[in-house]
């Protein structure tokens, strides 16, 4: 559990779905951890205080405690600092090599603060290495503003499919787009 470096111990029993707009069924499905089997990614986006960090941490804790998964939690600022230090020491890529051995990487506060083009490139290269090898759960507040029709006060979960074009995709065959998961407004 220490290796995951969660900011605090969180589980779903401590999350109040009654006052949240997050879809409980979807969160409980993600909590089972099956998305990690195929190195699928899940994006949690919403305004401050909507429960993104709590839910992501609870998913990570469950993965470690009950499914023997290897998980690492980073604030994006911490991650950028580690990547910059690696590069400065001439050891770029070491973190990526260790993270591809994990089942899940959680990135808190992605997009909260702007970072330089070089820092953005470091994160992009890391995420490219992890893509389809390790599940990634980025959490973001400002990411939400980039989505059409978004309401920054409502949290949203999105499962990311095969949205990145790879060199072998040169035939331009359409790939499944990102499939939004329903939030509580879609409950019956």
Across the range 109-116, mean pLDDT stands at 77
Which of helix, strand or coil describes residue 47? Answer: coil
- Domain contains 125: yes
Residue 104, both tokens: 């899940």
Q: Is the pLDDT of residue 175 over 50?
A: no
- Domain contains 16: no
Q: Is the pLDDT of residue 58 over 50?
A: yes
Q: What is the domain count for the chain?
A: 1
- Alpha carbon distance 178, 167 (integer Å): 19
- Between 174 and 122, the more confident residue is 122
Q: Is the pLDDT of residue 110 over 90?
A: no
How many other C-beta atoms are found inside a 10 Å radius of the C-beta of residue 32? 13
Containing structural domain, residue 145: 2-9+24-163
pLDDT, position 153: 45
pLDDT, position 178: 40
Q: pLDDT tens digit string along 127-170?
A: 999 999 999 999 987 554 444 444 444 444 554 433 333 334 34
- Domain contains 145: yes
- Domain contains 109: yes
- Alpha carbon distance 42, 181 (integer Å): 10
pTM here is: 0.77
Is residue 33 within 8 A of residue 63, CB to CB? The reply is: yes
- Domain contains 187: no
SS3 content of the chain, % helix, strand, coil (to 5): 45, 15, 40
- Domain contains 157: yes
pLDDT, position 116: 84
Instruction: Find the radius of gyration of the CA atoms of the chain.
Output: 16
**CATH value at residue 32:** 3.40.50.300
Summary mean pLDDT of the chain: 80
- Domain contains 104: yes
- Domain contains 174: no
pLDDT, position 47: 81
């Amino acid at each position: 559990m220490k290796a995951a470096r969660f900011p605090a111990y969180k589980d779903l029993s401590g999350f109040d779905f009654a006052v949240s707009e997050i879809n409980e069924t979807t969160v409980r499905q993600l909590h089972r951890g099956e998305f990690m089997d195929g190195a699928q990614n899940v994006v949690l986006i919403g305004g401050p205080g909507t429960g993104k960090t709590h839910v992501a941490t609870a998913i990570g804790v469950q993965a470690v405690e009950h499914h023997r998964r290897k998980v690492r939690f980073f604030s994006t600022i911490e991650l950028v600092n580690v990547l910059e230090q690696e590069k400065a020491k001439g050891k770029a890529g070491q973190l990526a090599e260790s993270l591809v051995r994990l089942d899940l990487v959680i990135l808190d506060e992605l997009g909260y603060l702007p970072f330089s083009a070089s820092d953005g490139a470091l994160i992009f290269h890391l995420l490219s290495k992890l893509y389809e090898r390790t599940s990634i759960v980025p959490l973001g507040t400002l990411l939400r503003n980039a989505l059409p029709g978004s309401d920054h006060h409502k949290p949203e979960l999105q499962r990311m499919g095969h949205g990145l074009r790879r060199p072998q995709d040169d035939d331009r065959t359409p790939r499944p787009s990102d499939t939004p998961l329903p939030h509580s407004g879609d409950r019956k």
